[in-house]
Structure 1
Amino acid sequence: MAKPTSNRPQVGPDRVLAEAPYRIGAVTLAVRDLDRLTRFYRDLLGLDIRSEADSAVRLGTGDATLLVLRHSPNARPRQPREAGLFHTAFLLPGRGDLGAWLRHAEEHGVALTGGADHLVSEAVYLDDPEGNGIEIYVDRPASAWQRAPDGTVVMRNERLDRAGLVAAATGPWSEMPAAARVGHIHLQVGDLDAAERFYASLLGFDVMCRYPGALFLGSGGYHHQLAGNVWNSRGAAVRSEGLTGLAEVALLVDGPTLASTRDRLREADVVLDEDGGALVVRDPWSIPVRLVPAT
């Protein structure tokens, strides 16, 4: 079963993402304490509340919804070794924005879980109050991304220049910049081969980097819009219903890619739900993926 190929990036990461066949849309989380999680993402990450209705809060920047918090007070907390969300990654426009947020986090006593220079990007990590992982990052220019002999992108975990980032801030953090977006979503999966078959062979993502215990998948030449790892979840079974954490990820898909993906999924006898022009499909761990026509 052939899958489409992508051109390698020759322009900046913003344009690479904007022109990619796949982009991350809204990420939906099932949360037990809606008020607390809403305050966290509004006050500490700077997302705007776009709407509050039907036991759900939609947050975002500019005219885009990036995150949906769905109130599920009786949901069972997802265990660390189960399949699901590793982190939602918010991409900021520049180093100064990340530096400003780092100052903001320190002033508010936010505990970070890590930070790294990945060569393609600089990133910091934290958890929300219900344990959902978050990455806040800034890309390096696409022209600076290193390539392996096979054409994949070189990514590593190197020491973060935190002082340099903070020094790059040009003012205090007030809100998430309007140009910010969810750059990628990183999943905990049970098996990397199964993840590659679904997300690469069926959905059409390119394998951009293979890392011990992890797989990074990109579209349109971006280093990754999706990733999966088995660091904590190797062998994880299909998710049960009624869990906290990742409830759905929406992918914005251009027309030709959506049509060809629909054909491949039908050819493979994958169950598809049609919902107002979107396709809803579940990955091997029953994580709902909504394929939304890009506008």
Structure 2
Amino acid sequence: MGPDTDRLPAATRIGRTALQVDDLGEMTAFYRDVVGLEPLSESSSRAVLGVADAPLLVLDAAAEVSPRPPQSAGLFHTAFRVPSRAALGDALARIQDRWQLDGASDHRVSEALYLADPEDNGVEVYRDFPRSEWPHTDDGRVEMGTDPLDLDAVARAAGGASGLPDGTDVGHVHLEVSSLDAFAEFYVDAVGFERQTTMRDARFVSAGGYHHHLGANTWHRRSEPASGTGLAWFEVVLPDADAFDALRDRLEASQYGSTTVDGAVAVTGPDGIEVRFRAES
């Protein structure tokens, strides 16, 4: 890619994730009672959930929506990042009490819990280790791994909170794609994320040296565009208007068309996955 001015600023972050759902009531209850998000607004067709008045998840119910086809690209998981091991322990307690834990890993940069919502959208709840402890490759990229997580130690750290604490955000979004090359062409070459860890059939990119704001994999050999229930769009938030304008110029010079939605630039990227870009308000 071009010079560093074409990279996203270090303060870039993931904003909201939006899901198209079949059963709004069931999905709202899951993200409230199991994940620990707080409902911020609700109607017959939409629920917005978050933490401390910060919206993190939008659930939209369509009048007619079909299940996500087996070969459809889309969401692998939405990853809610908590600020402490105590909050991760509280999340583990809720999951074990009210749902089913599908997996848990020590990624050498973070500790992560994995589960699936009632409509089979992946969910991760994780907490980061201090950046000073993250391993790096010789060329300076963050190097993640997958090791067993000591669940007993996480459980002992629980603080007894019933929901996610202030400071929780969407740390990253992980996609299922049909082509890792197309993923990199858009999110690295056009948008401006930087490559971090490369794993077998998976790529991880970020801004500002974070371990990853976006992940993508081809583990399940998805071959069709995103459709049906599941990911409707997700949001990338830039720190200021100058960074937003620079990104908008890059996108206009690329092959990807864009529209304006609620002050954000919405782009349909590879595999028909919509991503929305906006400046920090």
TM-score (norm 2): 0.94
Superposed CA deviations along residues 183-223 of structure 1, whole A, max 9, x for unmatched, are 00000001101100100111100111111111101111111
Given candidates 214, 233, 237, the residue that maps to 2:224 is 237
Q: Is the 8 A contact 1:219 1:225 kept in 2?
A: yes
Aligned residue for 2:20?
A: 30
Structure-2 separation of matches of 1:65 and 1:203: 24
Q: How does 1:117-156 map to 2 (within 5 A)?
A: 117-156=106-145
Percent identical among aligned pairs is 42
List runs of 5+ in structure 1 lacking aligned partners.
Answer: 8-18
Q: Which amino acid aligns with 1:201?
A: D
Tell me: CA distance 1:276–1:47, structure 2 relative to 1, closer, same or farther (3 Å). Answer: closer
Q: Is the 8 A contact 2:71 2:224 kept in 1?
A: no
Structure-2 separation of matches of 1:265 and 1:125: 34
Tell me by how many angstroms 1:269 deviates.
3.4
Aligned residue for 1:40?
A: 30
Aligned residues: 279
Given candidates 218, 230, 235, the residue that maps to 2:206 is 218
Secondary structure (helix, strand or coil) at the match of 1:262 reads: helix
TM-score (norm 1): 0.90
Q: Is the 8 A contact 2:81 2:125 kept in 1?
A: yes
Root-mean-square deviation over aligned CA pairs: 1.8
Q: Which amino acid aligns with 1:287?
A: I
Q: How does 1:90-129 map to 2 (within 5 A)?
A: 90-108=80-98, 110-129=99-118
Structure-1 separation of matches of 2:22 and 2:121: 12
Aligned residue for 2:61?
A: 71
Q: Which amino acid aligns with 2:160?
A: P
Tell me: CA distance 1:60–1:3, structure 2 relative to 1, closer, same or farther (3 Å). Answer: farther
Q: Is the 8 A contact 1:145 1:153 kept in 2?
A: yes
Structure-2 separation of matches of 1:218 and 1:74: 35
Q: Is the 8 A contact 2:256 2:269 kept in 1?
A: no
Structure-2 separation of matches of 1:167 and 1:215: 33
List runs of 5+ in structure 2 lacking aligned partners.
Answer: none
Q: Is the 8 A contact 2:141 2:209 kept in 1?
A: no
Secondary structure (helix, strand or coil) at the match of 2:260 reads: strand
Structure-1 separation of matches of 2:5 and 2:137: 18
Superposed CA deviations along residues 147-197 of structure 1, whole A, max 9, x for unmatched, are 01121111111010111111122x323111111111000000011011001
Q: Is the 8 A contact 1:82 1:233 kept in 2?
A: no
1:270 lines up with 2:256 in the alignment:
yes
1:284 lines up with 2:273 in the alignment:
no
Tell me by how many angstroms 1:142 deviates.
0.2
Q: Is the 8 A contact 1:3 1:202 kept in 2?
A: no
